[in-house]
Amino acid sequence: MLSTGIEAPHPMVTTTAGETSRLRATVDFVREQDTATLLPLLLPGLDGPELRSLADRCRFAHAALLLFPCDEQELHTTLTACGLTADGPPRPSVVVRERLAVRHHRDPADLDVGILRPAVTGLDGAHRTVEIFALTVPPGSGLDPLVAHERERQHEAHLAFEVDGPDPLVLRGLCATLARHGAVPDGGGYNPHENGTVFYFAAPDGAKTEYRRMELYAPGDHRDVLAAHLAEHRERQPAEALLRLLTGAWTTQALAACAELRIADALEIRRGTGLDDLAERIGATPSSLATLLRYLETLGAVTADPALADGYRLTALGALLRTDAPESMRPLALLYGGPFYRSFGALAHTVRTGEPGFEHVFGAHHFDHFAADPELADLFDRSMAAGAAMFGPLPTHPVLLAAGRADTPATVVDIAGGNGALLGRILAVHRRLRGVLLERPHVVEAARDALEAAGHGARCTYRGGDFADVPADGDVYLLSRVLHDWDDERCREILRHTARAMPGHADLLVVERVLPADGSASLATAWDLHMMCNVGGRERRAEHYARLFADAGLTLVGQEPLPLDGTVLHVRKAAAAN
C-alpha cells in the first residue's frame, strides 16, 4: 500500500456487502480530500505557480466507481447503507457504456449503464459528489466475466476535476499542463443529457495515488477541443480506434432509418413520448425501436426523458431530420443511407478501375439514373437544397452587396441552380436584384414553384437547358457545387460557356469545398472520395481551380470561407478577354 494513504477502494468480493464497502471507502475519500492536495499526488512535480494556476482553474469534484447491482432496488439499498441519497433516477451513461462495449467486445445495446451523483460535503465544507456508474447485472445475464474483470482492474475508477469558466483556450491550456506532467489522453466524450464534455487522462506512472485515471469535466459542448484530445488517444489505442471507424456504417444506417421511419416527425423537443406510443405512431416493434433509440441517443439525435419511463425527446440535432424543419436534412439522410450507401460498397471497384461505383452498381451515371426515376430525382434535388447551411453568409458577399446597391437593378444568374434554394436566399436579402435560373427542363418547373411560393416569382425568369445555354447580360453569375461534379476537361467547357456569356463587368462566384493546401482536416477530403465513387467528379485545391479559370479566360481574384468547410471563389474575366 502506498505511504501517502491516498488509495482507491480495493476490489472486493462479488457480494452486496462488498459493493457497500467499496462505495463507503469512496465516500470517505471524497469527504477527506481537496484540490490542492490531490493535484500534486496525481501529477508528480506539479508545484508552485503551475499548481496554483491549475487549482484556480479547476476544482476536485468527485471520485467515481463502477458498481454492479442486479436491479435498481439493490442499488438503492447500497446507497442507503452508505448514507447517500440519490439525486434522481439513474441517467444513461453514454461514455462508460461505449467504453465497456469496446473493452469487452459487447453490443452497447446489451449494457444498461446508469449514472448517479449523490452529494457529499467535504471536511473543508466544499460540495462534492460520488459519481456512481451502475451496470445492471440481472441473474443469468452472462455478464459475470465482464464484472470480474472490471472489479479487478477498476478501469472506471477515477478522480474528476471540474473546470470553472471553460473556453477553448483554457481547456487546451489545461490539457497541455497535464501532458507536461505525464498525464496521457485516455478517451472522453460529450454527454448530451447534461450538456457536458469529459476529457479522460491516464495518470503518470509516478502518481502517488492508486487512482490511475483522472477526468476534466467542462460544462457545455466542447467537441472541437475534444476532437484533438481523442485523436491523440486513438494514436495510442489503434485497435479501439479502428473498431470505432469500422462501425461508421451503423451510424449512417441508424440515421437513415430514423429518417425513413419519420421518428423525428413523431417526437418533440420539449415533451417526451413513451416507447409504446412512439412505436404505434410510426408502425414499429417496440423492442426493436428501443434498440435503435438507444443507439440514436449515443449519437445525440434523441435524449431520454427523465420524467417519463421509456420516454424520449428530440434534440436539436435530431430535429434536422424532421420533414417540416426549415432546413431539413432528412433528404440527405435518405440519399446517403440509400443509393449512395449502396454505391459506396463498390469503392474498391472504383479505385481499381476508375469507374464510378454508382455506375457499376446501377448501370448509369447518377444524373441519368435519378432523372429516369421521378422520386429519386426529387430526392436528389431536395438533398442538394438540404446543404443550404453552407450558403448562410453567401448573400452578404461583397459582390452581391454591391449588386444589390447598384443604381439600376442587377441580375444574378444561377447556373445549374437546382430547385432555386440558393437563388431564393439571395433574392430574400436583396430586394432589388433579379434572378435567372438555368437548369434541366424537369427541374426548372420545380424551382419555379418553389421560388414563386417564396414570393420571388415576379423577379425571376427561368431557362431550361444545359451549360451551352448560359444567358448573357447578367451582372453576377453563380456556379454552386457544380464544377466538382466533372473532370477537368468538362469543367473547362462549362467555364468557357460561362466566360463567353459574361459581360466585362460581371462577377462569377464559384462555391465548392476546396481541398486545403496543407493537407489539414476538412470535409472536402471526405467529399473528394464521395465525388470519385458516386459522381465521377472530384474536389480540388484553390490553385487547381485557378488553372481551370485561366484556361477559360478567367482570373481568380479572391476567396472567402463558408460554413461546413465551403469556400466561395471570386472570379472575373481576364483583362485580355474583356
Q: Would you say residue 383 has pLDDT above 60?
A: yes
270 burial level (CB within 10 Å; 0-12, 13-18, 19+) = exposed
The SS3 call for residue 276 is helix
Strands 302-304 and 311-314 come out as antiparallel
Residue pLDDT, tens place only, 113-151: 999 999 999 998 999 999 999 999 998 888 988 999 998
331 to 320, 339, 453, 454: CA distances (angstroms): 10, 12, 20, 20
* Domain assignment of residue 77, yes or no: yes
Confidence of residue 152 (pLDDT cuts 50, 70, 90): confident
Residues designated catalytic: 484
Last residue of a domain, one of 195, 228, 243: 243
Mean pLDDT in residue range 473-494:
96
What pLDDT shows up at residue 9?
44
Return phi, psi of residue 355, to 5°: -80, 130
- Residue 2 in any domain: the answer is no
298, 218: one domain: no
- Residues 122 and 67 reside in one and the same domain: yes
* DSSP-assigned beta bridge partners for residue 565: none
Angle of helix 542-551 relative to helix 488-501, nearest 10 degrees, comes to 60
Q: What is the rounded distance in angstroms from the CA atom of residue 187 to the CA atom of residue 126?
A: 28
Beta-bridged to residue 129, according to DSSP, are 62, 119
Question: Do residues 111 and 141 make contact, with C-beta atoms less than 8 angstroms apart?
Answer: no
Other CB atoms within 10 Å distance of the CB of residue 239: 8
Please give the order of strands across the beta sheet that includes 566-573.
460-464, 434-439, 411-415, 476-480, 507-512, 566-573, 554-562
Dihedral sign of CA atoms 238, 239, 240, 243 in order:
positive
Say which CATH number the domain at 406 has: 3.40.50.150
If asked whether residues 226 and 253 sit together in one domain, one would say no
Contact 182, 236 (CB under 8 A): no
User: 337: which 3 cell numbers?
Assistant: 443511407
Same structural domain for residues 317 and 443?
A: no
pLDDT at res. 576:
60
- 3-class secondary structure, 189: strand
In this structure, is residue 408 part of a structural domain? yes
Within a domain: residue 44?
yes
Lookup: cell for 548: 481551370
Q: What secondary structure letter does DSSP report for 68?
A: -
Q: How far is CA 94 from CA 62, 108, 166, 253, in A?
A: 18, 9, 22, 19
Provide the sign of the torsion angle of the four alpha carbons 444, 389, 251, 143, taken in this order: negative
Quick one: 172 and 190 in the same domain? yes
> 232 and 349, same structural domain?
no
Alpha-helical regions (H) of 299-346:
316-319, 330-336, 339-344
Overall number of domains in the chain: 4
**Assign residue 187 a region: left if phi > 0, alpha if psi is -120 to 50, beta otherwise?**
left
For range 486-491, the mean pLDDT:
96
pLDDT value at residue 237: 67
Tell whether 61 and 138 lie within a shared domain. Answer: yes
Same domain (yes/no): 443, 463: yes
Residue 55, number of CB atoms within 10 A of its CB: 19
Helix or strand holding residue 325 (H, E): none
- Domain membership of residue 318 as a residue range: 247-325
Give the separation between CA 498 and CA 501, rounded to whole angstroms.
5
Residue 5 has pLDDT above 80, yes or no: no
Q: Which pLDDT does position 6 carry in this prediction?
A: 45
Is the pLDDT higher at 348 or at 105? 348
What dihedral do alpha carbons 468, 471, 476, 479 form, nearest 10°?
A: -30
pLDDT higher for 18 or 423? 423
Q: Which residue has the cell 477530403?
A: 525
Q: Are residues 315 and 367 in the same domain?
A: no
Q: What is the average per-residue pLDDT within 55-73?
A: 92
Q: What confidence score (pLDDT) does residue 16 get? A: 63
Task: Assess if residue 482 is contained within a domain.
Answer: yes
**The domain boundary residue, chosen from 243, 269, 304:** 243
Angle between helix 35-42 and helix 48-57 axes, rounded to 10 deg: 120
- The answer to whether residues 76 and 131 belong to one domain is yes
Give whole-number Cα distances, 555 to 249, 412, 509, in Å.
41, 19, 12
| 197, part of any domain | yes
Distance set, CA 181 to CA 46, 58, 254, 313, 535 (Å): 7, 16, 41, 42, 50
| pLDDT per residue as tens digits for the range 536-574 | 999 999 999 999 999 999 999 999 988 888 899 999 998
Q: Is residue 162 part of a domain?
A: yes
**Residue 208 confidence (pLDDT):** 86
The answer to whether 300 touches 192, Cβ cutoff 8 Å, is yes
Cell of 511: 462555391
Note the pLDDT of residue 3.
33
14 pLDDT higher than 70: no
Last residue of a domain, one of 243, 264, 284: 243
Please check whether residues 405 and 528 belong to one and the same domain.
yes
139 belongs to a structural domain: yes
Q: In this structure, are 552 and 464 located in the same domain?
A: yes
